[in-house]
Chains A and B, each alone.
Chain A
Amino acid sequence: MSPDPTSAEATQHLQIAPSFRARGLTKIYRVGEVDVVALRGVDLELYPGEFVVLLGASGSGKSTLLNILGGLDDPTSGDVWFRDHDLVHATDKELTRYRRDHVGFVFQFYNLIPSLTARENVALITDIAANAMTPDAALALVGLGHRVDHFPAQLSGGEQQRVAIARAIAKRPDVLLCDEPTGALDVQTGIAVLEALERVNRELKTTTAVITHNAVIAEMADRVMTMSDGRIVRTERNTQRRQARELVW
């Protein structure tokens, strides 16, 4: 893996304005009686349509970074811009608008509403989005067209995560942020979930950021950033993206 200046995509990145631009991000949590420094000055850019994997051990700060990019959390210092939106100085209302219009989330523990069926969990989002696909179409995209009327408790972990992905992409978000989407899954279901992400990225051209501690997943990314101790310590570009179904771990 090394930067490849001849790649068409890479040259594209140099010409196109980034979707995200972050400068000097720091984040300090207070947990109980101790201060935890999660981010120590992170700079980063994400480009439209790009598939990025953030690698790192647990506690390296990758979830915090993702949450800040998604407008779920605010940094202690630094700047984040999504296109022309200043996420750091946005009001709660503006952040809500931003999440509603632009961002799709996939969480490690799915965070489905247990009292709603798969279709209804997706409808929760399509109800409020401007340019949404139908819940059934979103579920078909992740290969769950046949299980739309099941409740989360009636679905396997992988299926639940795919419902979560369908929910995230149903509004055709500009960016899809996935926090350990396969973390709670076995290999086979994990791969099915990754295939869904890959397909969304390819067909909808959604900027996708996946955080994981599983280095194998990095092989399907355009770019891989490695985080350690609150910093991005390395950024690499894959010369060739591998397909999710080729991955083994």
Chain B
Amino acid sequence: MTALHRKLLRDLWILRGPVLAIGLVMACGVATFVMSLSVLSTLYRTRAAYYDRYRFADVFIPVKRAPIALTERLAEIPDVLSVETRIAQYVNLDLADLKEPASGRLISIPDRGPPRLNDLFLREGRWPEPERTDEALVSDGFATAHGLHPGATVRAILNGRRQDLRVVGIALSPEFIYQIRPGEILPDDRRFGIFWMRRRALEAAFQMEGAFNEASLSLSARALEREVVRRADALTAEFGGTGAYGREDQSSHKFVSNEMNELRGMALVIPTIFLVVAAWLLQVVTSRLIGTQREQIATLKAFGYSNTEIGAHYIQLALVMTGLGTLLGMGVGVWLGQGVAAMYVRFFHFPSLQFQLDSRVALAAAAISTSAGVLSVARPVWKAMSLPPAEAMRPEVPITFGTSWLESSSLFRQAPVDVRMVVRSMARRPGRAVLNCLGLSLAVAVLVLGSFMLDGLNYVMESEFNVAQRQDMWLTFVEPTNHRVVADVAHLPGVLSVEPYRSVAVRVRSGPRERLLGLMGLQEQSRLYRIADVHRHVRPLPPTGLILSESLAEALSVGPGDSLRVEVLEGKRPVRALRVAGLVSDFQGEAAFARIDELHQLMQESDAVSGVFLTLDAARVDETYAALKETPRLVGVALKGAALKSLRETIVDNILKMRAFNVGFACIIACGVIYNSARITLSERSRELATLRVIGFSRGEITRILLGELGILTLLALPVGLAIGHLLADAVIRLAYNTELFRIPLVISRWTDAFAASVLLMAAAASGWLMSRRLARLDLVAVLKTRE
């Protein structure tokens, strides 16, 4: 080992405080980066493999009832590789362990063998026997929620008739990675399950002999999905086709993609910010650290060390610091990644989800942190080397203290000498003060960034559940039903009020742009389901025309006053031009609303309803549930309380965990910055401070001079950091949370700001305390005698 290597090790040991701080800051950046991006690539890989192996379809074609013979015509569409047809129905379930009603979806599988498309992964048990009409496979989530195993029975109401389904196996399907009821945004595994049964069983139960109501297609790689969809729609129109759609509109695929997009936004934005902040801090801290070794560099140079040798020495120093951080960060990142992957298993149903560190991600993280390390030493080392050694060894020329406007102000002249010293010291090196302040500000910003997401989500939950959707329960009927049902529901025990709605599957077009969606018809004075914008202002429905969510308007590129072509995909399938009456900024992505009367006119029907919103008497809710279990033709029973609970249990829980890590990391970054900042200031100024001590300043006074600067910079950093944090949060929202399905507004609570501010203040106080202890130990004579 050469003496220079020894110097490296000794320096690292002497600087262990700053080295540890830098390493930890780096590790935080690397850990979030590695974790998020690796989880993302794990999800992509797992989903792609799952789709491929279990033949997830490319196009989905719902119809009312089509003859089997149509299968061949669908297969004749150019570029269609295979066709699978099936029977699928929503049914009510009567579960002994659940008071409230639950629903299920029965899906047929061929009488023999597995389905050609959307094959099932059998987790447990066996496939139903072809001749057994009561055997079923049950979806994994539902089975877990109810502790079902092969041999259990589930009572379902098939076409008004109770039937016990015998569970023979537990299955997963690429169609239901994210398993939700239509119209909902959160999975509810307790109240919704999928059941696969042999075709013969469902043909008999729903009088669908020789017919199907769902087809799916797989396409060749060169197929134009749009064209296939158009041809499929043409073929199915006479059989009540409600519009074929591709994977992008398949609900599970859409939600999983959406989650991945969010994760990608988060994976790219927050960790990149963390990593860049960490790299930047490393740069600032290391450059100052090396600045203090100016004379050592000059000495090495005087004795004939070349620039390359000296440069390599300091680059090694930086590499050890970043290397330690990077390794630690990767370790933590992998550990966190496994945890996050396990979290996803809770609401994404994959046959298996094995977290894998993506080597490209690891390389990118290493490259970023290494270049940050190298860059951080390049400038100060170059600066020290480019001075002639003779000059570098001389003490730096005292900085000119000019008389500024500050000096001439009477306030300044009356200030105590230590205050004046603090102010002058910052004024004479404004660049350094600004950099320091910026470093601290970034720490605050990172804290805001780490914790603001829950604020947005809380705001959305409050708005959605208290301002917009004020019902306790939302019932959806199998088919549009006569308005009399409203009165029937109103008479159920415990029902306080009822409001009907009409929802129609439509395809809306504006020029070449089109979207499939459910057009929602609401009563003029709807009290239970209201259209509210992100500012929680309730928007009344106009007498005619549509209210579109801003995201839909963007997708269609239309604005108020424009006309839309609306193609209804059910009933008599009318096509009309409707005017856009207004836009609303809401959280739930693409949506369109109209008055219920206008929808009735459009449908050329008198008063059909698709479902109702209810408020319930909390004391009699069990009676209501019992009555609803007996009510036929209900598809969905959505309970607000259950939805909220499920939201809290899944997303909020996850966000809380993520937030805990982010906040922990942000705290480390904040403390790292402030500690190093104070530490370096001390080493830069120890001579000056010792001199002051010798000429009679008290320890308290010199502590005030040292910490005064830190204090002022900290106070300045608070507003600046909060401002930067808000800007970055806005960027994150724009990049990650502006999807078709969800729009989370930029809401940052005062609590978040206060939290960020107090972490910085506490970190500053702790660093200040550590520094004052170091000041107390300052060896006056030694400091004055030796030149650093």
Q: CB within 8 Å of B: which residues of A?
A: 31-33, 63-64, 67, 70, 72-74, 92-93, 96-101, 103-105, 107, 109, 111, 113, 115-116, 120-121, 123-125, 127-129, 153, 157, 167, 184
Contact = CB atoms under 8 A, between A and B. Distances in A.
A32 B428 CA distance: 14
B299 A113 contact: yes
Given A70-B302, A73-B390, A109-B786, A123 B10 contact: no
A160 to B, nearest CB: 9
Given A73-B390, A109-B787, A116-B3, A96 B397 contact: no
B305 A32 contact: no
B397 A115 contact: no
B195 to A, nearest CB: 73
B776 interface: no
B10 A124 contact: no
A111 B393 contact: yes
A99 B303 contact: yes
A111 B299 contact: yes
Nearest to A92: B307
Nearest to A99: B304
Nearest to B788: A114
Interface in B1-35: 2-4, 6-7, 10-11, 14
A127 B390 contact: no
B303 A116 contact: no
B704 interface: no
Given A73-B388, A124-B303, A116 B782 contact: no
A5 to B, nearest CB: 37
B388 A74 contact: yes
Given A74-B388, A115-B14, A116-B10, A167 B303 contact: yes
| Chain B interface, >50% SS class | helix
A109 B6 CA distance: 22
Nearest to A30: B397
Interface centre among B11, B302, B393 (most CB of A within 10 A): B302
Contacts of B393: 72, 107, 111
Given A32-B397, A109-B786, A123-B2, A67 B305 contact: no
Nearest to A31: B397
A153 B391 CA distance: 25
B3 A97 contact: no
Interface in B296-313: 296, 298-307, 309
Given A31-B397, A127-B2, A115 B11 contact: yes
A28 B390 CA distance: 14
B672 interface: no
A105 B307 CA distance: 18
B303 A125 contact: yes
A32 B305 CA distance: 29
Interface in B372-401: 388-391, 393, 397-398, 400
B2 to A, nearest CB: 5
A225 B667 CA distance: 63
B302 A124 contact: no
B499 interface: no
Contacts of B299: 107, 111, 113
Contacts of B782: 153
Interface centre among B302, B303, B309, B397 (most CB of A within 10 A): B303
A32 B401 CA distance: 11
A167 to B, nearest CB: 7
Contacts of A113: 7, 296, 299
A116 B7 contact: yes
Contacts of B550: none
Contacts of B2: 123, 127
Nearest to B5: A127
16 contacts: A31-B397, A64-B390, A67-B388, A72-B390, A72-B393, A73-B389, A73-B391, A74-B388, A96-B306, A111-B298, A111-B299, A111-B302, A111-B393, A120-B6, A123-B6, A127-B3
Interface centre among B3, B298, B305 (most CB of A within 10 A): B3
A121 B3 contact: yes
B400 A105 contact: no
B295 interface: yes
Interface in B275-307: 295-296, 298-307
A109 B298 CA distance: 13
A180 to B, nearest CB: 13
A33 B400 contact: yes
A100 B306 CA distance: 9
Contact of B304 (A33, A100, A184): A100
A64 B391 CA distance: 10
A193 B11 CA distance: 29
Given A72-B389, A73-B388, A73-B391, A120 B303 contact: no
B302 A99 contact: yes
B10 to A, nearest CB: 4
Interface string B759-788: 000000000000000000000001001110
Contact of A120 (B7, B296, B301, B391): B7
Nearest to B9: A115
Nearest to A121: B3
Contact of B3 (A73, A96, A105, A120): A120
Contacts of A105: 302-303
A33 B1 CA distance: 46
Closest 7 A/B residue pairs (Cβ): A100-B304, A115-B10, A67-B390, A123-B3, A72-B390, A73-B390, A124-B3
B296 to A, nearest CB: 6
Interface centre among B2, B6, B391, B397 (most CB of A within 10 A): B6
Contacts of B303: 99-100, 104-105, 124-125, 128, 167
B290 to A, nearest CB: 14
Nearest to B306: A96
Contacts of A73: 388-391
B662 to A, nearest CB: 37
Nearest to B400: A32
A123 B305 CA distance: 13
Contacts of A72: 302, 388-390, 393
A111 B295 contact: yes
A103 B299 CA distance: 13
A100 B298 CA distance: 13
A96 B388 contact: no
B304 A96 contact: yes
A48 to B, nearest CB: 20
A97 B301 CA distance: 10
Contacts of A123: 2-3, 6
Interface centre among A96, A167, A184 (most CB of B within 10 A): A96
Contacts of B298: 111
A70 B302 CA distance: 8
Contacts of B3: 116, 120-121, 123-124, 127
Given A96-B301, A113-B299, 14 more contacts: A67-B389, A92-B307, A99-B301, A99-B304, A100-B305, A107-B299, A109-B786, A111-B295, A111-B299, A115-B7, A120-B6, A125-B303, A125-B304, A157-B785
